[in-house]
Structure 1
Amino acid sequence: MKTKYLTAEDRILWGRVARSTRPMPGKSVEDIEREMEDFAALLEPPAPKPKPRNARSAGDLVEEKPQQKRQPPAPNVIDRPTHQKIARGRLPIEGKVDLHGMTQSEAHSLLLSFLQRAYADGRRHVLVVTGKGSPSRGTGVLRQAVPGWLSTPPFRALVSGHQEAARHHGGEGALYIRLRKREAP
């Protein structure tokens, strides 16, 4: 299904491209920024319509309890046989996303949209490249942050497990992620 709005991944990519350009002769940076803001406003989806109020009057003594949705458990480590099958190529890696050089907010948005699409497509195993970091700066920021993100509610609904990738897939700078099975409609 095609939408007329940009996904979070598209916005990140567009932002990177826009920052790498120079103004044409005769245009100032302010003109371009104003045009970009106008363009970005067109790409935002419309605000959701307000829901109609409940038909019951305030005098009704019916107490409604909000339904609590059960939170999925936090992701586990991928079991050893599955990890070995992925590393040896007997289980396919069905998607890959590279978060190198992104800010934490860009990487978070991209990772969430990537995992949502992979889950919707019924994929089970994907590779997320975070990078190892540099020896002078220590362990990479994304390398440390991504496992924490995977245990937060938006990711827990999608991810059932994660594990450091095999050396030929990026080693400590990459993660295998096992997505949950899609629920039957």
Structure 2
Amino acid sequence: MPSLAKYFREQNRPYLLPMPEAEVYLVSEFIPPGAEPALRQALQEQVAWRQEQITLFGRKIDQPRLTAWYADPGKAYTYSGLTWQPLPWLPVLSRLRERLQLFTGVPFNSVLLNLYRHGQDSMGWHSDDEPELGQNPVIASVSVGAERLFSFRHKKEKKLKQQVLLPSGSLLLMAGATQHHWQHQLAKTARVAEPRINLTFRYIA
């Protein structure tokens, strides 16, 4: 994928996070506040949420979140030892994909959804660097629900860290060489009791 920096400078809409060897943009109100409650309800009620298990230290444990994978036909996705076969697009997801494509100029053919039911649901440190995502993947991450703190750390320069609050309706766009040089996580927190839904749109080759 080409660099998005020129496009976004012309649009003058997002905020570029100060992270070397990365392109990470934050759009605080990608979803208008008035549209957010209906979107949240539709996602909670219509998505086929599942709780998968992963193997850790030789034993199976439940992932600390609910997940779902929707994509174009044939676009399976493998991560953390799990292979997801695509579910057909829901209308609510198709509309959101169309809006993202118009906004970014980037095609997306899949979306991984995570439902964090409360502050004890989380996602550990990782990079979205699976081979099927390509050399410099563009990941469009939409947040709906409770505001959560999202963290980055550089893979080699351990002192390089960044944190950003992701409000409901926000879009975090990770592009360029971000996945080569940085990891990200959503840590547990005792300060949040409400659910948060995260949708990460991707292009699977």
TM over 0.5: no
Report which of the two structures shows the higher radius of gyration computed on alpha carbons: 1
Q: Using structure 2 for the length normalisation, give the TM-score.
A: 0.29
Higher helix fraction: Structure 1 or Structure 2? 1
Higher strand fraction: Structure 1 or Structure 2? 2
Asked which structure has the greater RCO (Cα within 8 Å, sep 6+), the reply is 2
Q: Using structure 1 for the length normalisation, give the TM-score.
A: 0.31
